[in-house]
Structure 1
Amino acid sequence: RHGCRVGKQEAETDHGCPLPEEIVEDILSLLPVKSLARFRCVSPEWNDLIGSPEFAKLHSERSRGKGRLFLKPRGHRLFYVWKCKTGAAPVLETILDDWRQPTSSLSSCHGLVLPRFLDYEVHCVWNPSACEIVSLPDRTPARDIWRGRRTHVVYGMGYCSATERYKA
């Protein structure tokens, strides 16, 4: 683990792994989310890599077309991913155990997920690739704005390719 031999010289990488960083990133981007969550603790460099927006985008692109579907049974707080593999039985697997708040729907963009919480007071973005939930800045709760009137609040998420920024 001190590096790999290149001719008579020993090469060592910044991230403490004998493989070049590009190869490590390539390998990690092909792994399932559960494995990525475990590998974040390998080193600070791996944690930074797996949590980076560039890695999330790469992982999302490579995950497309793998037959995944997010499911949340009505009345439950558990989220599941339904994985369909060619020639194999579908697998149902828990991906997030507890939001701690009831949710009614999801909006997503490039692999990031914006859940809609029923109390309108909690706003966050979930990154399944990094297994992270990031709270959005506090806003005046929607129900206070309308002072008790019945109304619908619409949540959405978008991406601006010019600035490479997400908006919720």
Structure 2
Amino acid sequence: MAECLPLELITLILTKLPVKPLHRFKCVSKTWNSTITSSKFIKQHFHQTLISNTNNKILLISKNTILSSTISTVKLRFDIVNHPLNNIPHCPLIDVSGIVHGVVLLVDSSKKTVCLFNPTNKTTRLVPPAPSQKPASDDFDIAEVLGFGYDSVTDDYKIVKLVEWDVYRETSVYSMRNDSWKSVNDETPVSYTLREINAVAVDEILCFSVISRDRKPVLKCFDLRTSTFSLVDFPELDRGIGVMAMSFRSLRGCLCLVVSYRKHRVDPDKFIGGSFFYADVWEMNQCKWVKLFRIRKNEIRKDCMHLRLVTYSKDMKSVLIEVDGIWFGWYNLVTKKFKRVPVQGLEAVDLPFLAYTYVESLVSVVNNNKVVPKKKGTTPNKTIKKNDFLSSGFKLKL
């Protein structure tokens, strides 16, 4: 039957299928294999996945264990994912420094081992160390943060590394296409100190959290297309109330910020103590912060400390929330009611955990470039100059 259909129609049908059967269908014929593994088809398939809002998964990190689950409003069932950092000795902790197009940037606790990993097709790439002038001495407090994103201008996945110590700092960018690092100038004021919070990629812009000398939080944004920095202010936070935690996520194509507040109050006349808790959810839309909603303590449970958004439901009427890195629940934005979700597969996992979302994709991170040893006296290849691209402005809306 397949021989009776034109290849264009077969390709269209294949783009609507999940990733796992596509891997099996590569064995049908050489034509199917070359079609499914082509970069054009991989992009079409991922674009179709975003349109249909399918193949969405939860990635959960607990110490050096990674688990995955399909998103569901009824029950979450997590399975252990065999990841490349499992083979590294003495690696008690791993971290996710970014997820783009189904590819995860994994970093060990010492930040010496960095790798790209697609948990769907199990492809892996070990990233070479970035050249750095940071001191090895313990006399300096060194802040080091990684970010991971995609540059559509060069069709390249990039890792950005920011390092700060004393009054010095350096920025390096890794290109997956070239499998190499390069240094980038940072002209933002030195009065902003880098906070070791994972960067978030939104619309090909990496957002790092920094803080000014007057303790004001600011976003330091790196445009992957132009390799330039810009600064964006935070929304106006409630003053006089203790901020327990802030977390960032890329949801609905926008940057989302969750600010959890908690403050103890005491009635000296009645000798009664207590506390109140609430969390504000903000979204960056067209370069402006918009407060989406507020969640109060009595809508969750009394002893919660902080919240993190995980994902929205398909009808956009509910949001999945991670509470204290211990359990999950769906919060209905219309009824303001919270429903805890049963979870399986976390019995042997140490708490707390961190939850992320990713989309199953065919993107391969395997390094197919052949490494040719240099001969003495040869001139290194010149770097190909990329097309100039001028950003028309900072925009975080897809």
Give the corresponding residue for 1:53.
39
Q: Which has the higher contact order (CA 8 A, sep 6+)?
A: 2
Give the corresponding residue for 1:24.
10
Q: How does 1:6-21 map to 2 (within 5 A)?
A: 19-21=5-7
1:165 Cα offset (Å): 1.9
Q: Distance in 2 between matches of 1:111 and 1:145?
A: 32
Give the corresponding residue for 1:158.
149
Residues 37 and 131, structure 1, Cα contact 8 Å, conserved in 2: no
Q: How does 1:33-72 map to 2 (within 5 A)?
A: 33-64=19-50, 65-66=53-54, 68-72=56-60
Paired residue type of 2:136: R
Q: Deviations over 1:90-127 (max 9, x none)?
A: 45354832332552124122333222233433333234
Relative to structure 1, the CA distance from residue 50 to residue 77 in structure 2 (aligned partners, 3 Å threshold; closer, same or farther) is farther
- 1:108 and 2:90 equivalent? no
Give the corresponding residue for 2:348.
none
Residues 33 and 129, structure 1, Cα contact 8 Å, conserved in 2: yes
1:80 Cα offset (Å): 0.2
Residues 60 and 129, structure 1, Cα contact 8 Å, conserved in 2: no
Q: Distance in 2 between matches of 1:116 and 1:27?
A: 37
Relative to structure 1, the CA distance from residue 52 to residue 124 in structure 2 (aligned partners, 3 Å threshold; closer, same or farther) is farther
- 1:96 and 2:81 equivalent? yes
Residues 98 and 149, structure 2, Cα contact 8 Å, conserved in 1: no
Give the corresponding residue for 1:139.
129
Give the corresponding residue for 1:77.
65
Specify the SS of the correspondent of 1:155: strand
TM-score computed with the length of structure 1 as normaliser: 0.64
Paired residue type of 1:55: F
Relative to structure 1, the CA distance from residue 76 to residue 33 in structure 2 (aligned partners, 3 Å threshold; closer, same or farther) is farther
Relative to structure 1, the CA distance from residue 68 to residue 121 in structure 2 (aligned partners, 3 Å threshold; closer, same or farther) is same
Residues 61 and 95, structure 2, Cα contact 8 Å, conserved in 1: no
Q: Distance in 1 between matches of 2:31 and 2:137?
A: 49
Q: Distance in 1 between matches of 2:130 and 2:136?
A: 12
1:154 Cα offset (Å): 1.5
Relative to structure 1, the CA distance from residue 127 to residue 76 in structure 2 (aligned partners, 3 Å threshold; closer, same or farther) is closer
Q: Distance in 1 between matches of 2:9 and 2:113?
A: 39
Relative to structure 1, the CA distance from residue 72 to residue 48 in structure 2 (aligned partners, 3 Å threshold; closer, same or farther) is farther
1:45 Cα offset (Å): 4.1
Residues 107 and 157, structure 1, Cα contact 8 Å, conserved in 2: yes
Number of aligned residue pairs: 149
- Structure with the bigger percentage of strand: 2
TM-score computed with the length of structure 2 as normaliser: 0.31
Give the corresponding residue for 2:115.
124
Residues 125 and 135, structure 1, Cα contact 8 Å, conserved in 2: yes
Specify the SS of the correspondent of 1:154: strand
Specify the SS of the correspondent of 1:25: helix
Specify the SS of the correspondent of 2:145: coil
- Structure with the bigger percentage of helix: 1
Residues 56 and 130, structure 1, Cα contact 8 Å, conserved in 2: no
Q: Distance in 2 between matches of 1:130 and 1:109?
A: 14
Question: Mind listing any 5+ residue stretches in structure 2 that lack a counterpart?
Answer: 160-398
Residues 103 and 115, structure 1, Cα contact 8 Å, conserved in 2: yes
Relative to structure 1, the CA distance from residue 56 to residue 103 in structure 2 (aligned partners, 3 Å threshold; closer, same or farther) is farther
Give the root-mean-square deviation of aligned CA atoms.
3.4
Residues 105 and 115, structure 1, Cα contact 8 Å, conserved in 2: yes
Percent identity between the two aligned chains:
28
Q: Distance in 2 between matches of 1:135 and 1:124?
A: 4
Relative to structure 1, the CA distance from residue 126 to residue 73 in structure 2 (aligned partners, 3 Å threshold; closer, same or farther) is closer
Give the corresponding residue for 1:16.
none
